[in-house]
Structure 1
């Protein structure tokens, strides 16, 4: 174990069936240091945290805490040993209907050796001691449900620290916080660092990482792809290691468009964020890339009417565009392929035909009667054009592979003409063959509309787009025509590095 390393993981492996999620992870956490863990979706971060936290059993490898073997079978065992996790969902760490004092002492009230007698005075005294130790300036009598997100996060961390852990894991703790609220959290983390706690901080927000990291560990595809602990920290190298740089895939021939379909001026999608201005042209495919958590989905949902912008104006074909709902956006010719196909997309119990026609049932009906032939022909056309592997349009979605389910999601919104076609992470969870099929179809059908895709993987942008915009901290920080791109500069922008104008 390295000097001051309080926690050590060696050769950790985990598989689910034939799918190996962790391929031999080795990691050290040091007392009084913040180790930032970066990894794209599917890198294995959540599985690693769940093994350390006692939620999952390890498949192979060893863990040691303060020199002793560490192999928790339950979260309670991990906590008792000195490893506490505060999960991304704040409500997982607090009980909203109880007051702050009870939350801070709840584990002692309900744990082993807890007194059978409930003494409010003792609870308040113990809660005050915890709050004072953490510098928590919150009314202990306040109900947690009445607190701001930042205060709930503080209570969750203070509750975790009541166990006096050796290791604290924070999973995307600022994902729901404003910049001012995040600053309060950072002050608390500085305090914990001063107490000698080893902190594993999971985040993609470069402002967080630059502010807190003593060292950065990058994960990709279930393995550690880079460790960065030399000062000054190599932030761009960490991003490069996380995303990979396999820039050997098919590149497109970039097209230009002189005809604007969509414009946004001064669009603000988050408090404290700089405004966004952009133009999307007819026949053009534009990719917006950036790390997880920079606001890509928030922008997609704003354009689709699911969210309201805080400021700014939009136009579609030169006319004001301010959708109050997804229904209004669809009526204006704006379609969105949502990121999470299982939550807001496919209906597993419906067949391919009905999944494709679902948003357009009214268009495919006459006097309330469905035009079955039109529905069937639309489905067959999309099956052929996108290469959906199935027996027929009557197959249920649940019978298809993930890649073919994703093709059905794209097919749904391509079955009707649109003016602005938005796709949020359309290649997530699909293999390279399906990815290329979808990208080719998007480009082949781009005439007559503007196409906007949101992707984390830079390769996906390079394979698909005519223009690439870079997003960071809920705004656009770079623009590149997809021809002779300076990849080092693009990566620097993704990492939140210094910019020198716009390409």
Structure 2
């Protein structure tokens, strides 16, 4: 085998007393896609930041095409042939600028192209970049914000490819993509592999790893603890990643759920003027996954049930009684809880808020019923949070630890723990596994199953693998409706946590 394009030897990084990386070794060859698997907090993000020039290592050395490589900034990394596409593209694009200007943003900032470059020449260059990622039909003069999130991500990828990188780093590239959009990205990566580009992939989605990975490297406690070439035994890799056997929760039975009372009944529900009305039932004790592409209307359905949006037509019943909540507060009082898709925008508090601790975050919605004479029950908050930390396996220093300082998976566990602090009659989870590693996802799925009795649970996801991990039944949702032809099955009961 030829010499690797990239090597990392004994890379170490500390943040105070915390060891983020402990002498990590890795190599990647031309045309190879190496996937990093690791729990939240294992060190993957720190390693990516070091390779992409965001941070520097305390110890160790890296090479790129046989030469010493130690970038002092992301710009230096790009100039040396390392391009990175981060999970969150919000900081990488300017929505009000045109698509063309966003495609050329790195070149404009680096002086390769300037505002004095003739407009026709800039647009010719932008069209070249757009064509490479399948955006050749777009109006390059339109604002970037007019594109879908998936198309905006392709703009960022086109910018990364403009440097003709020797190493391309993809950090959760399909986190916000539908299955069809993800497949288009897979095809593009296949082409890059054929061109000899080395790819470092960080993803929590098993579908990404199955489809793309030439090899997986398992990271735990800041070091590579195992590696496998394709074909990959993902069960073995996952168990190595989390350091214990995968939980195998028992699936529900058709008889138990079939005989249970209806918890939620939707009749003739029409979400918007262009969507078809539909009927839908969920029974007590049942976990139903509503699966559909990004933009299918899943979030709007969850908001209608939660009282945060209004349906155009139709009726809802909750445990046999009419259900038409006017506000989320009314829904919470009735035991209908929603964990929103974007945890920071919808549910969690910034670190500047005094009560943005684990305990404060979990207890916040229930303070009115816990308080006496307006006094916030801190002891109650800490007691509930302590139990939640044990139940959900939240890795933190304790109830007073700040949520913003936790890993993404543990932040998501805090959010789910919030909605288990009081008994729920109906639990709505919108993309609960987004940005959560496979080990944390297995823990969350197992906990949801253990606590499913006495309520109905609706899980809204874009990824079918995620649906199979947790659901008793799966239905397809598209264009704002559920149609009989779109149902995977009315009785899909899973027997394994992570399908292979």
TM-score computed with the length of structure 2 as normaliser = 0.67
CA separation of 1:312 and 1:479: change in aligned 2, threshold 3 A: farther
The alpha-carbon deviation at position 123 of structure 1 amounts to: 1.2
1:130-169 correspondence to structure 2 within 5 Å? 130-134=129-133, 136-137=135-136, 138-169=138-169
**Structure ID, larger Rg:** 1
Q: 1:461 aligns with which of 443, 446, 455?
A: 446
1:349 corresponding residue in structure 2: 354
1:181 corresponding residue in structure 2: 181
Deviations 1:408-455 (A, max 9, x none): 9899877866545789999xxxxxxxxxxxxxxxxxxxxxxxxxxx96
1:27 corresponding residue in structure 2: 26
Q: State how far apart, in whole Å, the 1-side matches of 2:210 and 2:68 are.
A: 33
In the alignment, structure 2 segments of 5+ residues that lack a partner are 388-396, 433-438, 473-493
2:5 alignment partner, SS class = strand
Deviations 1:173-214 (A, max 9, x none): 221122222222222222222221111122222222222222
State how many pairs are aligned.
Answer: 432
Does the CA-based 8 Å contact 1:9-1:64 persist in structure 2? yes
The alpha-carbon deviation at position 19 of structure 1 amounts to: 0.9
Q: State how far apart, in whole Å, the 2-side matches of 1:321 and 1:206 are.
A: 38
2:9 alignment partner, SS class = strand
Q: State how far apart, in whole Å, the 2-side matches of 1:308 and 1:475 are.
A: 28
Does the CA-based 8 Å contact 1:11-1:25 persist in structure 2? yes
CA separation of 1:332 and 1:34: change in aligned 2, threshold 3 A: same
Q: State how far apart, in whole Å, the 2-side matches of 1:188 and 1:310 are.
A: 40
1:202-213 correspondence to structure 2 within 5 Å? 202-213=202-213
Worse-matched range after superposition: 200-209 or 133-142: 133-142
Q: State how far apart, in whole Å, the 2-side matches of 1:467 and 1:363 are.
A: 23
Does the CA-based 8 Å contact 1:357-1:375 persist in structure 2? no
Deviations 1:241-269 (A, max 9, x none): 33332579xx99x9x998658458999x9
2:496 corresponding residue in structure 1: 490
The alpha-carbon deviation at position 360 of structure 1 amounts to: 5.2
Structural RMSD (CA): 5.3
Does the CA-based 8 Å contact 1:25-1:224 persist in structure 2? yes
The alpha-carbon deviation at position 54 of structure 1 amounts to: 0.8
2:400 corresponding residue in structure 1: 400
1:45-444 correspondence to structure 2 within 5 Å? 45-112=44-111, 117-134=116-133, 136-137=135-136, 138-230=138-230, 232-246=231-245, 262=263, 279-281=283-285, 316-319=318-321, 321=323, 325-335=327-337, 344-345=347-348, 348-350=353-355, 358-359=364-365, 372-373=372-373, 375=375, 379-381=378-380, 383=382, 400-401=400-401, 418-420=424-426
CA separation of 1:381 and 1:216: change in aligned 2, threshold 3 A: closer
2:390 corresponding residue in structure 1: none
The alpha-carbon deviation at position 3 of structure 1 amounts to: 3.1
2:200 alignment partner, SS class = strand
The alpha-carbon deviation at position 337 of structure 1 amounts to: 7.3
Q: State how far apart, in whole Å, the 1-side matches of 2:8 and 2:354 are.
A: 42
Q: State how far apart, in whole Å, the 2-side matches of 1:277 and 1:159 are.
A: 46
1:5 alignment partner, SS class = coil
The alpha-carbon deviation at position 76 of structure 1 amounts to: 0.8
CA separation of 1:15 and 1:185: change in aligned 2, threshold 3 A: same
Deviations 1:126-185 (A, max 9, x none): 223334455542333332111122221211111111111111111112211222222222
Does the CA-based 8 Å contact 2:336-2:428 persist in structure 1? yes
Does the CA-based 8 Å contact 2:216-2:229 persist in structure 1? yes
Does the CA-based 8 Å contact 1:10-1:26 persist in structure 2? yes
2:487 corresponding residue in structure 1: none
Q: State how far apart, in whole Å, the 1-side matches of 2:386 and 2:399 are.
A: 16
Does the CA-based 8 Å contact 1:341-1:409 persist in structure 2? no
CA separation of 1:95 and 1:115: change in aligned 2, threshold 3 A: closer
The alpha-carbon deviation at position 20 of structure 1 amounts to: 0.9
CA separation of 1:114 and 1:42: change in aligned 2, threshold 3 A: same
The alpha-carbon deviation at position 402 of structure 1 amounts to: 5.0
The alpha-carbon deviation at position 84 of structure 1 amounts to: 0.8
Does the CA-based 8 Å contact 1:34-1:200 persist in structure 2? yes
The alpha-carbon deviation at position 463 of structure 1 amounts to: 11
1:456 alignment partner, SS class = helix
Q: State how far apart, in whole Å, the 2-side matches of 1:189 and 1:35 are.
A: 12
Worse-matched range after superposition: 161-170 or 468-477: 468-477
1:484 corresponding residue in structure 2: none
Q: State how far apart, in whole Å, the 2-side matches of 1:213 and 1:354 are.
A: 41
